Structure 1
Amino acid sequence: MENQIFQLQYAIDTFYFLVCGALVMWMAAGFSMLEAGLVRSKNTTEILTKNVVLFAIACTMYMVCGYAIMYGGGYFLSGIAGGDSLVADALSLSAENGFDGGSVYSGASDFFFQVVFVATAMSIVSGAVAERMKLWAFMLFAVVMTGFIYPMEGLWTWGGGDVFGMYNLGDLGFADFAGSGIVHMAGAAAALAGVLVLGPRKGKYTADGKINAIPGANLPLATLGTFILWMGWFGFNGGSVLKLGDMASANDVAMVFLNTNAAAAGGVIAALIVARMLFGKADLTMALNGALAGLVAITAGPDTPTPLLATLIGGVGGALVVFSIVTLDKLKIDDPVGAISVHGVVGIWGLLAVPITGSATLFGQIIGALTIFVWVFAVSLIVWLVIKAIMGVRVSEEQEYEGLDLAECGMEAYPEFTGTRGSGM
């Protein structure tokens, strides 16, 4: 009987992992739609291509070496291959051999859930460097980011490894439930390094310091992308409970879902109010970024706050993102979609908010945030500079003016007229 209960829990927890992983994978569509809506129409095909390809690269590189690096299983194809052996290993944990009711699931489902997080981190980079980066330079960076940079900081955090053998973040009181720092701030740090190497888009800033707004081509698409991300985030945070097969875990999952949704709502409201105070208008793009900021803010600790406190944590994130986007523009750091502000600045806030209700220490959160940021930013900067020296990272001024759809992909997302020669029509 105990063995049957174990097998049922194994099946439930594995299935839950897979469903949540599929929800997080769907966030790739959200990033694609959001970024496509916030860039100019002449760059839409290229940014969609980037989002499809980066997901494929992330899946491949994390399988080849990233997962093994992050969880200490070696360097190549370690720990995820095989089928019967995974089941046998799990069954050895059954009640007859000391199973204590902890999390049990297929190793393959764990890999699937982890790999979509890697793709999320890389998707953050895509929007920040949009409209002026060479497609192949971006893809080369994606190989290094998903195969090495992200897995190393993942090893020091979720993997439990010591940072260069010097200190253990867990021992210092660091905690990041689903990745405000490990995923989101890391992606933003890599994006910031790329943006600094790239420079701003032509015409964004004038010599006399004026900031020219460059509006996106399709706000309905950006709004759809935001709702897709909002939906996918339930898998992002909910799946990080790592367990569903008992009453206590089911209650934990429900609370994480509730707090995730509450924080997103708080982010929207706060961002809209701050934008109204600053600009005198109800700015849709700020409301969209406010929703995402609320989600990023709660991701580090969605399991412990009350729903009201989760709303306030998300609200602070929504307010922060508006001020951050304005400040980065004044510093001439050109981020077309606000990714650095949403995922970086608010990612830091998410980490710092955990000690309010969780067991993490403020000192541990600060050290953890510094460790992740310094590692990802420094190594990413080196990689971007190497790529720049080898093949260049920025398209020509003429190609930027023409649009990357034609320059990099040879096709337009919104052709004004399509005809077929000799059709007689």
Structure 2
Amino acid sequence: MNADAALFTAKGDTFYLIWAAVLVFFMQCGFAMVEAGTVRAKNTKNILIKNLLDACIGALIWFATGMGIAFGDSTDSPYFGTGVGNYALHSRDWSASYTSEGYDWATWFFQFTFAATAATIVSGGVAERCALSAYLAYSVALTGFVYPVVVHLVWDSEGLLSAFNSGSPVLGGVIDFAGSGVVHMTGGIAAFVGAIFLGPRIGRFSAEGKPMPMPGHSSVLQSLGVFILWLGWYGFNGGSTLAVFSSAYSRDLARVCVTTTLGAASAALTSVMIAHQFTHVWDVSAVGNGILAGLVSITANCVVIEPWAAIVIGMFGGAIYQGASKLVLKMKVDDPLDAFAVHGVCGAWGLVASGVFCRPEYSYNGLGSHGFVYPGAQPDLLGIQIVTFLIITIWVGVCSTVIFGSLRLAGILRVPAEVEEAGMDVSKHGGEAYDLSVPPAKA
């Protein structure tokens, strides 16, 4: 490759990664709309400010410590980044020998958008009763420490579970291509733990423990938010190829877009049909959350499966979401946005599905392991997928228990009952989100 061609490919990969990161960052708008539409009108400003501050605080914390813990340098331990190369992003683009054409900066931006997504998932599980200060404290801990450790284990080239580790990763390394486990399980488990420590919203369950309806105020916002998230997912999954100009990944990018689409579609249809069997209502929320469940389910495996498998994975994802949502209610845990069912449980299914449906020719596991539906070399990929599921569950569950438990012991986790009943917009944010007052008549 001559110098001009090398320069073009370097610049192209930088632009490609920034383009993908912008799509993923736009998902913050989708999360904000879904969450705002799902809560009651009296808490609209509160949920929006949490989403806005997630991104703002997350950017600073990811710059200071998150990126360094996740992706240190070649001297890292298998458990977290110990090299100083990415703490506060020590880039040397002022040097005459710098040739990456900004790719290191683009990598920081791309990884930041993933960290912001993990943090935003939590806001849905703790909606309508979590104190803002407590939520922001947790967001700092998640973005700055809890999530980066998971990233390092699974995606960094020195990580214990990473298939990109040229040393000796566990069982050849896990296939979690775009983060069903890393991003979605992390956010979903944290949301579940937070919901347990907070307790249910006032009036969510009757004295007999029966769930009481507490519908959101805008199906329009919910549906538009889901479409924005679906759009952003093409950057989330597709962008995880990380390059297309300097590699043969354009074929993989195209395949990812197909499998991502099919997984979302089949999950939505499965979800709404199951919901209709129980309620005899064609529920728009069942379609929207079904789409998200399918997207989460396909995120780990989108690059290593065939289209028919994407449809099957999506179908199971829609059914698993419906079952998990009902189980959480049976446990009397109040998760207003089904964050755990959509992201936590379907994220776990996405990990497992890699071990079932990974085509041998697409596998990037270091031992060549693949899905057990295909004959061939052993050991099957399923083993490392389950090990990763267990490690993420234990790590995030324990850390979240310590953080939310400490906030509860300090008495700063939940807002007072009178604030919750009045609505946090009036109590904490200067008034209602919607001005429905009738203007005075003209004289």
TM-score computed with the length of structure 1 as normaliser: 0.91
Q: Which residue pairs with 2:65 in the alignment?
A: 65
Residues 157 and 182 in structure 1, CA contact (< 8 A), matched pair in contact too: yes
Point out the more displaced range, 10-19 or 78-87: 78-87
Q: Which residue pairs with 1:301 in the alignment?
A: 301
Shift of residue 77, structure 1, vs aligned partner: 5.9
Q: Which residue pairs with 1:38 in the alignment?
A: 38
Alpha-carbon deviations, 1:137-187, whole Å to 9, x = none?
A: 101111111001111111111123338xxx975545322000000000000
Q: Which residue pairs with 2:261 in the alignment?
A: 261
1:322 alignment partner AA: Q
Q: Which residue pairs with 2:437 in the alignment?
A: 417
What secondary structure sits across from 1:363 in the alignment? Answer: helix
What secondary structure sits across from 1:316 in the alignment? Answer: helix
Instruction: Tell me how far apart the structure 2 counterparts of residues 200 and 235 of structure 1 sit (CA, whole Å).
Output: 35
1:42-191 to structure 2, matched below 5 A, reads 42-73=42-73, 74=83, 78=87, 80-82=89-91, 84-85=93-94, 88-90=97-99, 106-159=103-156, 160-162=158-160, 170-191=170-191
**Pair 83,419 (structure 1): closer, same or farther in 2 beyond 3 Å:** farther
What secondary structure sits across from 2:205 in the alignment? Answer: coil
**Pair 90,370 (structure 1): closer, same or farther in 2 beyond 3 Å:** farther
TM-score computed with the length of structure 2 as normaliser: 0.87
1:237-276 to structure 2, matched below 5 A, reads 237-245=237-245, 248-276=248-276
Instruction: Tell me how far apart the structure 2 counterparts of residues 168 and 365 of structure 1 sit (CA, whole Å).
Output: 16
Alpha-carbon deviations, 1:199-222, whole Å to 9, x = none?
A: 001111112121111100000100
User: What value does the CA root-mean-square deviation take over the aligned residues?
Assistant: 2.2
Residues 185 and 348 in structure 2, CA contact (< 8 A), matched pair in contact too: yes
**Pair 176,391 (structure 1): closer, same or farther in 2 beyond 3 Å:** same
**Pair 318,348 (structure 1): closer, same or farther in 2 beyond 3 Å:** same
What secondary structure sits across from 1:6 in the alignment? Answer: helix
Instruction: Tell me how far apart the structure 2 counterparts of residues 90 and 31 of structure 1 sit (CA, whole Å).
Output: 36
Shift of residue 384, structure 1, vs aligned partner: 1.0
Residues 72 and 87 in structure 2, CA contact (< 8 A), matched pair in contact too: no
Shift of residue 83, structure 1, vs aligned partner: 5.2
Instruction: Tell me how far apart the structure 1 counterparts of residues 323 and 94 of structure 2 sit (CA, whole Å).
Output: 52
Residues 69 and 87 in structure 2, CA contact (< 8 A), matched pair in contact too: no
Shift of residue 90, structure 1, vs aligned partner: 3.5
**Pair 87,30 (structure 1): closer, same or farther in 2 beyond 3 Å:** farther
Residues 173 and 363 in structure 1, CA contact (< 8 A), matched pair in contact too: no
Shift of residue 78, structure 1, vs aligned partner: 2.7
Instruction: Tell me how far apart the structure 1 counterparts of residues 151 and 86 of structure 2 sit (CA, whole Å).
Output: 17
Structure 1: gaps spanning 5 or more residues: 92-103
- Count of residues paired in the alignment: 408
Point out the more displaced range, 228-237 or 327-336: 327-336
1:236 alignment partner AA: F
Q: Which residue pairs with 1:403 in the alignment?
A: 423
1:237 alignment partner AA: N
1:393 alignment partner AA: L
Q: Which residue pairs with 2:374 in the alignment?
A: none
1:394 to 410, 414, 418: 414
Instruction: Tell me how far apart the structure 1 counterparts of residues 327 and 204 of structure 2 sit (CA, whole Å).
Output: 15
Higher-helix-fraction structure: 1
Point out the more displaced range, 231-240 or 150-159: 150-159
Shift of residue 75, structure 1, vs aligned partner: 6.0
Alpha-carbon deviations, 1:8-34, whole Å to 9, x = none?
A: 111111101000000000000000000
2:19 alignment partner AA: V
Q: Which residue pairs with 2:77 in the alignment?
A: none
Alpha-carbon deviations, 1:65-122, whole Å to 9, x = none?
A: 110011124469637244525883446xxxxxxxxxxxx9610000000000000001
**Pair 320,20 (structure 1): closer, same or farther in 2 beyond 3 Å:** same
Instruction: Tell me how far apart the structure 2 counterparts of residues 87 and 79 of structure 1 sit (CA, whole Å).
Output: 21
Instruction: Tell me how far apart the structure 2 counterparts of residues 258 and 87 of structure 1 sit (CA, whole Å).
Output: 42
> Is it true that 1:371 corresponds to 2:391 in the alignment?
yes
Point out the more displaced range, 81-90 or 314-323: 81-90
2:183 alignment partner AA: V
Q: Which residue pairs with 2:80 in the alignment?
A: none
Q: Which has the higher contact order (CA 8 A, sep 6+)?
A: 1
Residues 69 and 75 in structure 1, CA contact (< 8 A), matched pair in contact too: no
2:294 alignment partner AA: G
Residues 44 and 413 in structure 1, CA contact (< 8 A), matched pair in contact too: yes
Instruction: Tell me how far apart the structure 2 counterparts of residues 86 and 263 of structure 1 sit (CA, whole Å).
Output: 45
Instruction: Tell me how far apart the structure 2 counterparts of residues 209 and 176 of structure 1 sit (CA, whole Å).
Output: 38
Alpha-carbon deviations, 1:304-326, whole Å to 9, x = none?
A: 22222212211210111111111
2:130 alignment partner AA: M
Instruction: Tell me how far apart the structure 2 counterparts of residues 111 and 323 of structure 1 sit (CA, whole Å).
Output: 37
Identity fraction in percent: 38
